[in-house]
Structure 1
Amino acid sequence: MSATAVLLLLLPLVSAQTYHWGSCPTPKVQPGFDLEKYLGRWYEIWKLPASFERGKCIEANYALRKDGTIQVLNSQFYKDKTRKVEGTAIVPDARDAARLGVSFSYFTPYSPYWVLSTDYTSVAVVYSCTDILRIFHVEYAWILGRSRFLPRETVVYAQDLLVEEGIDLTRMTATDQTGCKDD
């Protein structure tokens, strides 16, 4: 099968994603990342499009399990109901703890979940990228906050950080966090 045929078969799968030709960039991650400080609830403030995130009030809650893996509980309000999905994150190399892997199914490999920057108390910048046959890559980026709303200057700082790392934010959009119910 030719590369063009493979690409044509895969394009519908990535239509709601952000994809670019070539391999993934390799942005710098948070030095000295402290997983314990990162755990807890984060609200999605801005993101690159993701087919699995179509709702509003999107948030993620991270908790350490007894086996050392991280429980990832994502939720969003979509089509008049709260929808939750549970996944698992791992730290493949403790020396590079800001480069996590996350999976939401036993049948899929861990996808990159790289914490580029965080102050642990207000904002985090996260990036994920997967190469598809070295022909193109699918990428995600999130600006997360410990509260549902961040000051504009904090968002600009996070966006500038992503741009400096070579990540195209042309398709980045704000996540609707209005009218949300907190547990």
Structure 2
Amino acid sequence: MLSVCLMLLLLLPPLVSAQTYHWGSCPDPKVQPNFNIEQYMGRWYEIEKLPASFERGKCIEANYAMRPDGTIQVLNSQFYKAKVRVAEGTAVIPDPREPAKIGVSFSYFTPYSPYWVLTTDYSTVAVVYTCTDILHIFHVEYAWILSRSRLVSSQTVRYAKQLLIAEGIDIFSMKATDQSGCKDS
């Protein structure tokens, strides 16, 4: 066990600069009751986020579409280093009794990561959270404030942040995403 802990401590420094981590297990925030996945489909723009090493660009957006097999196509795009970069993934609802707890994977070789919709009105804002527990020693978390438009009111952002805080999620590192000068497709 000691060698595992030492190995984790050696791996921790690279996580610090690109992710948000905390000691202990993941929190268990409440998710959107009566979540309707069909209403959630479509384009969402990233307004603010906790740091994520896989998101460093601007004009970040996600587009969700149902596939004939019942899985969800996830297309994430961002403008980074002078070009549009797209990542395609698959989302599933592991437990139909909890449809707001979605699993997302961007590779056949990786397990589905949690993608929990904490709240959404489907037409203006969504607050999404994910957390990975590392042996109950520490956890890595991400959170996003999404919108159907590139710009939202400060009241909407404040509401989303208050919800995250109320669920025990530390938003100190949350940063706004640059949505200026983007080309709409």
Q: Compute the TM-score of the two structures, normalised by the length of structure 1.
A: 0.98
Aligned residues: percent identity?
A: 73
After TM superposition, the structure 1 stretch with the greater mean CA deviation from structure 2, 120-129 or 12-21, is 12-21
Unaligned stretches of 5+ residues in structure 2: none
Secondary structure of residue in 1 paired with 2:97:
helix
The answer to whether the 8 A contact 1:17-1:50 is kept is: yes
Q: How many residues align?
A: 183
Aligned twin of 2:63: 61
Aligned twin of 1:4: 6
Given candidates 88, 96, 99, the residue that maps to 2:98 is: 96
Q: Shift in Å at residue 10 of structure 1?
A: 4.1
Secondary structure of residue in 2 paired with 1:94:
coil
Asked if residue 154 in structure 1 is aligned to residue 176 in structure 2, the reply is no
Instruction: Write the distance in 2 (CA, Å) between the matches of 1:157 and 1:13.
Output: 28
Unaligned stretches of 5+ residues in structure 1: none
Q: Shift in Å at residue 133 of structure 1?
A: 1.5
Secondary structure of residue in 2 paired with 1:160:
helix
Given candidates 164, 178, 182, the residue that maps to 2:180 is: 178
Secondary structure of residue in 2 paired with 1:9:
helix
Secondary structure of residue in 2 paired with 1:29:
coil
Q: How does 1:1-183 map to 2 (within 5 A)?
A: 1-13=3-15, 15-183=17-185
Instruction: Write the distance in 1 (CA, Å) between the matches of 2:75 and 2:174.
Output: 23
State the one-letter code of the partner of 2:160: A
Q: Shift in Å at residue 102 of structure 1?
A: 0.3
Distance 1:4 1:119, change over 3 A: same
State the one-letter code of the partner of 2:177: T
State the one-letter code of the partner of 1:105: S
Secondary structure of residue in 2 paired with 1:95:
coil
Instruction: Write the distance in 1 (CA, Å) between the matches of 2:17 and 2:114.
Output: 20
The answer to whether the 8 A contact 2:15-2:21 is kept is: no
State the one-letter code of the partner of 1:27: P
RMSD: 0.9
Instruction: Write the distance in 1 (CA, Å) between the matches of 2:132 and 2:144.
Output: 15
The answer to whether the 8 A contact 1:43-1:60 is kept is: yes
Deviation sequence 1:30-67 (CA, Å, 0-9, x none)? 00000000000000000000000000000000000011
Q: Compute the TM-score of the two structures, normalised by the length of structure 2.
A: 0.97
Secondary structure of residue in 2 paired with 1:96:
coil
- Deviating above 3 A after TM superposition, structure 1's stretches of 4 or more consecutive aligned residues are none
